[in-house]
Structure 1
Amino acid sequence: MSLRRALHFVFKVGDRGKTATFYRDVLGMKILRHEEFEEGCKATCNGPYDGKWSKTMVGFGPEDGHFVAELTYNYGVGEYRLGNDFLGITLQSSKAVSNAKRLGWPLKEVGEALYLAEAPGGYHFYLLDKEQPQSDPVQKVTLAVSDLQRSVHYWSSLLGMSVMEKDETKKTVLMGFGESQCKLELRDIGVAVDHATAFGRVAFACPREQLPDIEAVMKKENQKIPTPLVSLDTPGKATVEVVILADPDGHEICFVGDEAFRQLSMMDPNGNDLLDKAMADDKSDEWFAKHKKQKAAA
């Protein structure tokens, strides 16, 4: 299982401009690549939408060695309703804290040298005010669960994650596929998990040959498989195979074949310019204002 690795978390965003400011100027991440699509994704990367959308990968470094964010934007959808499912991403960067203070981005002190910053859309980021490490600054993704024991069984026994820490007081368990990777923290919130319309997805890579086995285990255990093993084509790039799972609380999990994904996820030096151009060309805000209409709320 050590060949499995954490890749990214998928966010739906309604305002690309403000979102780009947060990730680029506050957190200090780079645009790794940007792609525009005319129709929905076969693996529903952009959610249950069939229209035009875009995908922007942002991170502190290439996805080969960093946990990054995938920002999906559906043209015409201005906002999404937050649930209680995504509890935050924690990263270590005193630079991000100083950027936020300099730019007047709201920060809330929530612990010793720990600040809460909200990304556009309400997504929580916890910024540890310590020097940014040379390795990946992203430490963990925290997801809500309704039955911690059941969830730990799913992620460890069925998906092969190692349990690294348990905190009975906070009702949390920290898990991962490797010490040097971004970890997954599960927190028992004691109530049902509501994904609302802003629900995201966490992605992992594994050797291509493991994908059918992962799917077979889930079938045998009668677990949910929202998208059975499928090939995804990106024009001019590698074709990747993915299987989308859902844990007992409905958190979506993407497993992708590592060999092809390493080719697909190579950093595009034009990513920043492509995002800026797409935002400049997107006249949807002006159109809705002119026609005295509001963008749809998902």
Structure 2
Amino acid sequence: MRLLHAMLRVGDLEASIRFYCEVLGMKLLRREDFPEGRFTLAFVGYGAESEQTAIELTHNWDTSAYTIGDAYGHIAIGVDDIYATCEAISTKGGKVIRAPGAMKHGTTVIAFVEDPTGYKVELIQVGK
């Protein structure tokens, strides 16, 4: 078994694709419109879906915004240089909501950014 994807409902599909691709460096893997169901699916990720987990961005055409429930946590991405990554994200217009630093009650260096819908993305320092 393998984790295939995680799905997020987004109100502005184009802004979300720009964030995940231009700001976080993912690639648009595939996109398909479903006119009869009035929705579009866009899959983004760092590699082919046959080898890596993707994020499915679901845009329901008649919904422009969502309320993020308190059960949602975050998506986590490992990065080699968290400080440079956060600087690059800010330069590209991304919103860093927690600057890099040690996690509370631990030593792992983390940061948080927020996507256009308001979903949190945790960055975790995995390199030196």
TM-score higher than 0.5 = yes
Task: Choose which of 21, 29, 36 in structure 1 pairs with 2:26.
Answer: 29
Residues 97-106 or 16-25, more deviating: 97-106
User: 1:77 aligned to 2:60?
Assistant: no
Tell me how far 1:96 sits from its aligned partner: 4.2
Whose helix fraction is larger, Structure 1's or Structure 2's? 1
Highest Rg: 1 or 2?
A: 1
**Structure 1: gaps spanning 5 or more residues:** 41-51, 132-298
Letter of the structure 1 residue corresponding to residue 30 of structure 2 = R
Give the equivalent residue in structure 1 for 2:91: 102
State whether residues 4 and 49 of structure 2, in contact with CA within 8 Å, keep that contact through their aligned partners in structure 1: yes
**Structure 2: gaps spanning 5 or more residues:** 103-108
| Aligned Cα root-mean-square deviation (Å) | 1.8
- Alignment CA distance shift 1:119-1:110 (3 Å): same
Give the equivalent residue in structure 2 for 1:123: 119
- Alignment CA distance shift 1:34-1:14 (3 Å): same
Q: Partners of 2:21 and 2:87 in 1: how far apart?
A: 14
Letter of the structure 1 residue corresponding to residue 49 of structure 2 = E
User: 1:54 aligned to 2:40?
Assistant: yes
Tell me how far 1:68 sits from its aligned partner: 1.0
User: 1:39 aligned to 2:36?
Assistant: yes
Q: Partners of 1:96 and 1:19 in 2: how far apart?
A: 18
Aligned residues: 117
Tell me how far 1:110 sits from its aligned partner: 5.9
Letter of the structure 2 residue corresponding to residue 103 of structure 1 = K
Structure 1 runs (4+) greater than 3 angstroms displaced: none
Per-residue CA shift, 1:124-158, capped at 9, x if unaligned? Answer: 10012445xxxxxxxxxxxxxxxxxxxxxxxxxxx
Q: Partners of 2:27 and 2:87 in 1: how far apart?
A: 17
Tell me how far 1:64 sits from its aligned partner: 1.8
Per-residue CA shift, 1:205-264, capped at 9, x if unaligned? Answer: xxxxxxxxxxxxxxxxxxxxxxxxxxxxxxxxxxxxxxxxxxxxxxxxxxxxxxxxxxxx
TM-score (norm 2): 0.81
- DSSP 3-state at the match of 2:70: coil
TM-score (norm 1): 0.37
Q: Partners of 1:124 and 1:89 in 2: how far apart?
A: 7
Q: Partners of 2:92 and 2:66 in 1: how far apart?
A: 25
Per-residue CA shift, 1:252-279, capped at 9, x if unaligned? Answer: xxxxxxxxxxxxxxxxxxxxxxxxxxxx
Give the equivalent residue in structure 2 for 1:227: none
Percent of paired sites with the same residue? 32
What does residue range 267-282 of structure 1 map to in structure 2 within 5 Å? none
Tell me how far 1:97 sits from its aligned partner: 2.8
What does residue range 176-255 of structure 1 map to in structure 2 within 5 Å? none
State whether residues 97 and 129 of structure 1, in contact with CA within 8 Å, keep that contact through their aligned partners in structure 2: no
Q: Partners of 2:87 and 2:126 in 1: how far apart?
A: 11
